[in-house]
Structure 1
Amino acid sequence: MKKTDKLSLFRKLQTYIPFILLSINYLTIILSFRSSPFSHLLNDHDSSMFLYFGKAMNAGLTPYINMFDHKGIVLFWIQQLGTLIGGENYSLGIWIVECIFYLLTLHYLYRTCMLITKNKYTSSLAILLTTGPSLITFSGGNLSEEYALTFISIALYYFTNIILLNNNKSYYLIIIGIMGGLTFFIRPNMIALWVVFCLYFLLNYLINKKYKLLSRIVKLS
C-alpha cells in the first residue's frame, strides 16, 4: 500500500473516532442498567418503588392518593410510559425509555462540549471520560437523577448558547423554562443549574444596563 493511500485511510478512520468514543460511552451506560434484557440483577429499592408507581397508575390508581412518595409527578409519568410500553415485560419498557433519555442526554452534552471546544475529538473524549462517574451516579439506572439529567443537559446547552454566542432567541428561553419545570417536577432539589444561570443573567444584565432584554426574559418566564 502506498504512503498516500495509508494516509488517506488514516484520515477516513479519524472521522469515525468521535462516533466510536460516543458509542463506547452510550453502550457502556445503557448496558449497565438493571432493566436491560442482558442484566440478571434485581432493581434496587428506589427503582422498584418507581416501577410499582408506574404499574399502579396503569391499573387506575392515583399517585399521592392511593400511593405516596415525595418524588414529582413527571417521574411517575415516565414510569407509567415505560411499563405501558413493556406490557408484561415492564423492565424492557423501562429500559427502552432509559435508552432514549440517555441518548438525548449524550446528544446535548456533546453539543454543549462542541460549543465550548469547537473540536469534535476533544468533545467526544470529554464525554468518554464521564463514563465512570456516570456509572456511579446512575447506580443501575431508573433513578430520578438519570431522567432529570436529560432535561438539565438540554437546558445547559441553551444556557451555553446564550452566553457564548449571545443567542437570545425567545424559543431558547421557552425551552429552558420547560426543562426547568420538568426537572422540578421530577426532583425539586435538582434545579440548581437554573438558579445559578438566572442569577448570572440578572446580575449581568443589570450591570450592563440591558433592561429591555431582562424585561423580555422576565415576561417569557
Structure 2
Amino acid sequence: MQTYKNSLLDYGILTLIAVLFLLIFSYGTSPLFINNFGISDSAIFLLIGKGITAGYIPYVDLFDHKGPVMFFIEALGWWISPNRFGNFLLQWLFMGVNLVLIFKMGRLFLEKKWCWVPVAFFLLILAATFEGGNLTEEYSLPLLFLPLYLALKYFKLEPLGKAKHPPLYALVYGICFTLIIFIRLNNSVFIGAIVLVVMIQLLANQSFRNFFDNVLTFLSGSFFVCSLVAIYFLANHALGDMIYGTFLFNLKYAGGMSGISTPAEFVKFSYGITPVIFSFSMGVYYVLKKAGKEIGWLLISGSLITFFSLLLGGVFYHYFILTTPCFVLAIILLLELYQKNGKMLIQENSRVVLVGVLVLLLLITVGIYLNFAYQTVREIAAEQPNDSYYEDALTIKNLIPTDDLDSVLGYSVPAGWFLKAEITPCYKYFTMQEWWGRYDPQVLIDTNKHLENDPPKWIVLNNDPQQNQTLYAVLAMKYELIAKDTVVSLYHLKNE
C-alpha cells in the first residue's frame, strides 16, 4: 500500500512538472501567452482543428501536409475548450505520459532516486527545441516512449535465450507506429528500429511461432488504425485528398528538400544532433561489454535511423525533439553503469577510457543544449506575447463586414492571423502558398484558377514580395486596396 502511495506521489509530481514546463515553453497554447499561436505550423494545426469542429474536412476545405491524426488531436482540443486551452490540456496529458514513461523506464534499471535524472535531461532537450509547442514531434513522443518502455521491459526481464515476446506488445507497436505515420511520417522511424531488433532476436533464438504471432498482431494494430482513418475519409468522400496531403505531397516535399545546404546549417545540425551521437556511443559500449547486447543494438539502430531521418530534413530546432527517446535511454544506461560499477570503472584502464569518452560526449551535449535553452528563455522573455501583431489583425478584421467573413482568402498570411481575427479562410490553400508551391506547382495553379474563376470578396495579402505574378494581375484587375498595416494589406473585390 505504501509503495502504491509513493508511486502516486511520484506521478503527481511529474504531472506538476509537466504543466509548469508547458506554461513557460508552450507559448503557442499556454494561458500565460494569450496573444500568441506559436510558430506557423502550430497555428495551422489549431486552425484546421477548429475547422473540423465546425464541419470542415481536412485536405478538402483546409489543407496542410501533416497526417489527419494530428488534426483530430487539435479538433479534440477545440472540442474540450476553444481558444487553445483545450489543446493545452491535451498537451499536459501527453507531457505527463512522457514523464511517467521515462520514470518507469528508469525504474527498470535504476534505484528510484536516480530516475529523476533522465526526466531532467529530457526537459533540457525540450526546453531548447519546443519552439512554442503544439507540434507533431511533441504529440509523437508518448507513442515513441510507450513501445520503447515495453521493449526495454521485455529485454530486461526475459531470460536470455528464452525469448517470448508478448504479442500484445507488438499490437501496441503497430498501433503507435501507424498513429505516428498519420501524424508525421518521419516521426515514426524509431519504432522501426525497435521492431527490427525484436524481430532479429526472435529469429536468432529460433522462436518462429512467437515471431509470426508478433508479426500478425503488429499488422493487426496497424490495420485497425488505418481502417478508422479510411472510414472517416471515405464517409466524407475525401480519401484521395487525404492520401495526397499525407503521403503524395510529402514525397514531393522530401524530394525538394535540400537538407543541409550551407555551412551555417551544418554547424546548427552538428550541434543539434549531439544527443544522438552520445546515445550511439552508449549503444556501442553496451554491445562491447557483451551484457544486454539487445539493448545496445536497439540504441545503435535507433540512433542511426534517427540521425539519417534528421539529416534528410530541414534544419529546424523542433525536429531535434525526436532525439530524446535515444538520449533518455542512453542517460539511464550510463547511470546504471555508474550505479553498478562505479569503483571498477576507475580501476580498469580499458573501461575508464571508454566511459571517459561517453562522459565527455554527454558534457558537450549538455553544454550545447543549456546554451540553446538559455537563448530560448531570452527570446520568450523579449518577444512573447506579440501583442501589436494581433491588435493589427483585429483592426483589419473590423474593416470586413460580418456578412463577408465567410469569403476571406489569405495569401502568405500566417494562420495565427486568422485565429486571432476569428476568421476561417474560404479556400483550402489558405497560407504558405508559395512555400507549398515550391514542392508542388499545382498548388499555385489551383490557387490562381480559384482567384480568376471564383474570386473571394476579400483578400488579405502579406506585404512581402510574392513570386506569383498572376496574383498581382488579378488584384490589379479585380480588387481595390482598402487598408495596409506593417504586415498585411486588405483588398476588396470591385463591384462589376
Normalising by the residue count of structure 2, what TM-score does the alignment of the two structures yield?
0.39
Q: Is the counterpart of residue 39 in structure 1 residue 36 in structure 2?
A: no
Q: Is the counterpart of residue 150 in structure 1 residue 142 in structure 2?
A: yes
C-alpha change, 1:125 and 1:17, in structure 2 (3 Å) is: farther
AA in 1 matched with 2:49:
G
Q: Of 212, 215, 219, which residue of structure 1 is paired with 2:212? A: 215
Residue 128 of structure 2: aligned partner? 136
Tell me the alpha carbon deviations over residues 59-98 of structure 1, each in whole angstroms, 9 at most, x when there is no partner.
11100111211111110000001111113xx211111111
Residue 127 of structure 1: aligned partner? 119
Distance 2:206 2:8 in 1: 46
Residue 187 of structure 1: aligned partner? 184
C-alpha change, 1:57 and 1:27, in structure 2 (3 Å) is: closer
Structure whose CA Rg is larger: 2
Give the superposed CA RMSD.
Answer: 2.3
Higher helix proportion, which one? 1
Distance apart, 1:22 and its partner CA: 3.9
Distance apart, 1:26 and its partner CA: 2.1
**Is contact 1:25-1:127 (8 Å) kept?**
no
C-alpha change, 1:16 and 1:111, in structure 2 (3 Å) is: closer
Distance 2:12 2:50 in 1: 37
Q: Structure 1: give runs of 5+ residues left out of the alignment.
A: 1-14
Distance 1:143 1:70 in 2: 13
**Is contact 1:25-1:128 (8 Å) kept?**
no
Taking the TM superposition and a 5 Å limit, the aligned residue runs for 1:92-103 are 92-103=85-96
Taking the TM superposition and a 5 Å limit, the aligned residue runs for 1:1-221 are 22=14, 25-31=17-23, 32-34=25-27, 35-40=29-34, 42-43=36-37, 44-87=39-82, 90-117=83-110, 119-166=111-158, 168-221=165-218
**Is contact 2:168-2:217 (8 Å) kept?**
no
Tell me the alpha carbon deviations over residues 10-47 of structure 1, each in whole angstroms, 9 at most, x when there is no partner.
xxxxx999679746742442212111112246122111
Distance 2:127 2:87 in 1: 17
Moved more, 168-177 or 61-70: 168-177
Alignment size in residue pairs: 205
Higher strand proportion, which one? 2
Distance 2:200 2:170 in 1: 17
Residue 3 of structure 1: aligned partner? none
AA in 2 matched with 1:36:
S
Moved more, 38-47 or 93-102: 38-47
AA in 2 matched with 1:103:
G
**Is contact 2:97-2:142 (8 Å) kept?**
yes
Instruction: Tell me the secondary structure at the aligned position of residue 84 of structure 2.
Output: helix
Instruction: Tell me the secondary structure at the aligned position of residue 61 of structure 1.
Output: coil
Identity of aligned residues (%): 27
Distance apart, 1:183 and its partner CA: 1.2
**Is contact 1:29-1:134 (8 Å) kept?**
no
Distance 1:94 1:204 in 2: 40
AA in 2 matched with 1:86:
S
**Is contact 2:199-2:211 (8 Å) kept?**
yes
C-alpha change, 1:128 and 1:17, in structure 2 (3 Å) is: farther
Q: Structure 2: give runs of 5+ residues left out of the alignment.
A: 1-6, 159-163, 219-496
**Is contact 2:15-2:92 (8 Å) kept?**
no
Residue 232 of structure 2: aligned partner? none
Name which structure has the greater RCO, CA cutoff 8 Å, separation 6+. Answer: 1
